[in-house]
Amino acid sequence: MSLSSSAPRRKAQPTRSPRASLLSTAFATLLTTLCLSSLPATAMSAHAAEAEPATSTQSAPEIVAQQAEVGVNGDSTASAPVASQEAVEATAGAAEQAKNGAEPAASDEQSADADSKGVANDATKDAATAEQPLTQFKVMLDWYTNPGHAPLVLAQELGLFKKHGLDVELIAPADPSVPPKLAAAERVDIAISYQPQLHLQIDQGLPLVRIGTLVATPLNVVVVRADSDIQSIADLKGKRVGYSVGGVEEVLLSTMLQHSGLTLDDITLTNVNFSLTPSLLTRKVDAVTGAFRNFELAQMAQEGVKGRAFYIEEEGVPTYDELIFVANSDSYERKQAQYAGFLAAVGEATAWIINHPDQGWEMFRDSDPALDTELNKEAWYATLPRFALRPAALDAGRYRDFEDFLFERGMIKKRQSLSHLAVDVNTP
């Protein structure tokens, strides 16, 4: 059996000799010890050095430790003991053990030395398995931090990103149109965007690809005041409808109108910028499109006005992922492992939030004093059912269907293959 570096070291034992030979050897050892007891310490050390050459059972860490001891003490002979009566008795005891065919027992000093070497070796192992440096990772949000970003904030607070080897920086943009562009330029590793926008951006030539999903249902709704005479989309005929951004929002609204037998010519579109709720509260418009079901309804309720929502997926629009994670498509293979770790952390945080919604809200709220508002608390609970429980999972049909939807309405020039639109990071 080979000896570990922490075990007491022993010299290689000679082949067992007859009893008489053992007795003579023990007597000779005792006599030598008595003679050496009168020698100076330096002579004893020199004699020990000649008598005990290094053996193959001595490990490299032990040799280094011995050399370190010499360096610290400055003189390897300075602490060499002078043979005493106790040493003589110990030698005699060893001789008696040899006579009986037993190996000498390790002394307390030897045991302590072995223990200290064991601790040193454990420390060496701990250093060898020390945590590897974290990979710096920049993630740009789609807008200022809000409950829609809860899994990212909680993954940060719970240490889940670090668990997966990432040091994640969450960045809020000054302009919500910028994040996908920065991801395409690799100025950030990941950006949060919207599935409808992704189709348009890829059609325009941006090197982007969806790598994961944050919110797996549409949030977009058409909202009206509950005290109005608008009970269905068909009742929007002749009404003023406010919007913030053209393009996709206009296509979605047009589809909803067509689903109820109307066209855009039957309504009056009014650009209210991002002032959706105020425009509805002040009756500047009769309805707004592009509102988020987890925010605007709660915001209206806080102002004492109840709202009514029309869900776009119930009005002829294909279901899609509202919030998604996008990254540069050219660097995907190089960063696939980091993307997988990121999404694993987000998934773990989402599961934790679903299991602990109240504690999750408190942790989210306490992460930034600016988040502690009644609106955010209402939005928190309204958003929980919308999060993707498996952020990395890809619904291929959802992306094909929406690509076809946009192509048929002239919003994109050509259909892209699924691999150009979205990937599953857990697929080799």
List the domain boundaries for the chain: 19-128, 135-217+320-421, 220-314
For the chain, the 3-state helix, strand and coil shares in percent, each to the nearest 5, are 50, 15, 35
Whether the domain at 135-217+320-421 and the domain at 220-314 fall into the same CATH topology: yes
Pair of tokens at residue 178? 């910028």
Q: Do the Cβ atoms of 153 and 145 come closer than 8 Å? A: yes
SS3 108: helix
The better pLDDT of the pair 386, 19 is held by: 386
Is 343 buried (19+), middle (13-18) or exposed (0-12) by CB count in 10 A?
buried
Give yes or no for residue 207 having a pLDDT over 50. yes
Cα 209 to chain centroid, rounded: 21
What pLDDT, on a 0 to 100 scale, did the predictor assign at position 245? Answer: 82
Is 114 buried (19+), middle (13-18) or exposed (0-12) by CB count in 10 A?
middle
Q: What is the pLDDT of residues 30-70, one digit of tens each?
A: 344 444 444 444 343 433 334 444 444 444 333 333 433 33
Q: Confidence band (pLDDT; 50, 70, 90) for 131? A: low
The b/e string for 257-296 (b: 16+ C-beta within 10 A; e otherwise) is beebebeeeebeeeebeebbbebbbeeebbbbbbbbbbbb
What pLDDT, on a 0 to 100 scale, did the predictor assign at position 398? Answer: 97
> What average pLDDT does the segment 307-313 reach?
97
**Phi, psi values for residue 113, rounded to 5°:** -65, -40
Pair of tokens at residue 71? 């360096």
220-314 sits in which CATH class?
Answer: alpha beta
What pLDDT, on a 0 to 100 scale, did the predictor assign at position 21? Answer: 43
Give CA–CA dist 172/194, Å, rounded. 16
Q: Which helix (H) or strand (E) holds 271?
A: strand 268-271
Strands (E), 37-160: 135-140
What pLDDT, on a 0 to 100 scale, did the predictor assign at position 273? Answer: 87
How many of the other CB atoms lie within 10 Å of CB of 48? 13
Q: What is the pLDDT of residues 359-407, one digit of tens each?
A: 999 999 999 999 999 999 999 999 999 999 999 999 999 999 999 999 9
How many of the other CB atoms lie within 10 Å of CB of 90? 15
CA within 13 Å, CB half, 245: 11
The better pLDDT of the pair 105, 315 is held by: 315
Q: Do the Cβ atoms of 87 and 37 come closer than 8 Å? A: yes
Pair of tokens at residue 174? 């000054």
* From 25-39, 168-182, 346-360, the region with the lowest mean pLDDT: 25-39
What average pLDDT is seen over the chain?
A: 79
Q: Which helix (H) or strand (E) holds 354?
A: helix 332-355
Give yes or no for residue 116 having a pLDDT over 70. no
Pair of tokens at residue 152? 């990212």
The residue type found at 143 is W
Give CA–CA dist 137/170, Å, rounded. 9
Q: Answer yes or no: CATH 3.40.190.10 is held by domain 135-217+320-421.
A: yes
